[in-house]
Amino acid sequence: MSELFQYPADDEREASSAAKVRALEALLIEKGVIGSDSVDAVLEHFETMAGPFNGAKIVARAWVDPAFKARLLADTPSAIAELDLPTGMAGAEGEHMAAVANAPDVHNLIICTLCSCYPWPVLGLPPYWYKDPVFRARGVREPRAVLREFGVDVPADKQVKVWDSSAQIRWFVVPERPANTEHLDEAQLAALVTPESMMGVAMVAPPATA
């Protein structure tokens, strides 16, 4: 029998994470490990400089510019450097990034079997379940089952590729562009892209259901 791992609802997960963050912040400040100004600086960095909004812009550009998409898949750092993003792509878990693209015949899933290597500059902070040993093990052993639990039912005739991130290479996914988005501009397309879709555990919803 497969080892089961339950993924809480978004609101439950966010409430639990927020409570833990507040408790940890208060403890660290109380013990003098950090100051409130340090916390504010970190929060500002991830709100304005490094986060999934960067990845969404990269994906949207790949959707509207096939030549850029080809460059992105061939040499991810160089292609990203072409864009006017608010943060550098080197350092802070952004070294050695590489993109893979979903297609009608292939779906990509990103995991990290060793720890929790993750491209923070383009995806933000990793969700708690990404670090869970059960997710990491089952992602390799039975990726289709894991994807179904996230609501992504990959057809039997569609290949699933699992990419293992590490300190040497950090992967992210260019999801498939949803149908009925031909009328949207690049910024509107970027608004549809979620961190989960760039990890391969979700599809990008079309505008009517986004």
- Reported as a single tens digit per residue, the pLDDT across 61-103 is 999 999 999 999 999 999 999 998 865 544 455 568 999 999 9
Q: What are phi and psi of 173, to 5 degrees?
A: -105, 135
Binding residues for Fe(3+): 112, 115-117
* Residue of 143, 159, 156 whose CA lies nearest to 201: 143
49 within 8 A of 183, measured Cβ to Cβ: no
Count of other CB atoms within 10 angstroms of residue 86: 12
pLDDT tens for residues 141-155?
999 999 999 999 999
Please, is 11 exposed, middle or buried when counting C-beta atoms within 10 Å of its C-beta (0-12, 13-18, 19+)?
A: exposed
Highest mean pLDDT among 21-30, 94-103, 158-167: 158-167
Instruction: List the domain range (segments joined by +) for residue 44.
Output: 9-48
> Which CATH number characterizes residue 65's domain?
3.90.330.10
Q: Is the residue at 2 inside a domain? A: no
Can you give the pTM of this predicted structure?
0.77
The verdict on 117 and 160 lying in the same domain is: yes
User: Active-site residue numbers?
Assistant: 112, 115-117
Number of independent structural domains in the chain: 2
pLDDT tens for residues 163-208?
999 888 999 999 999 999 999 999 999 999 999 999 999 999 998 7
The verdict on 85 and 155 lying in the same domain is: yes
Q: Which residues in 179-203 are b (16+ Cβ under 10 Å) and which e?
A: eebeebeeeebbebbbbbbbbbbbb
What pLDDT sits at residue 40?
A: 45
The verdict on 78 and 121 lying in the same domain is: yes
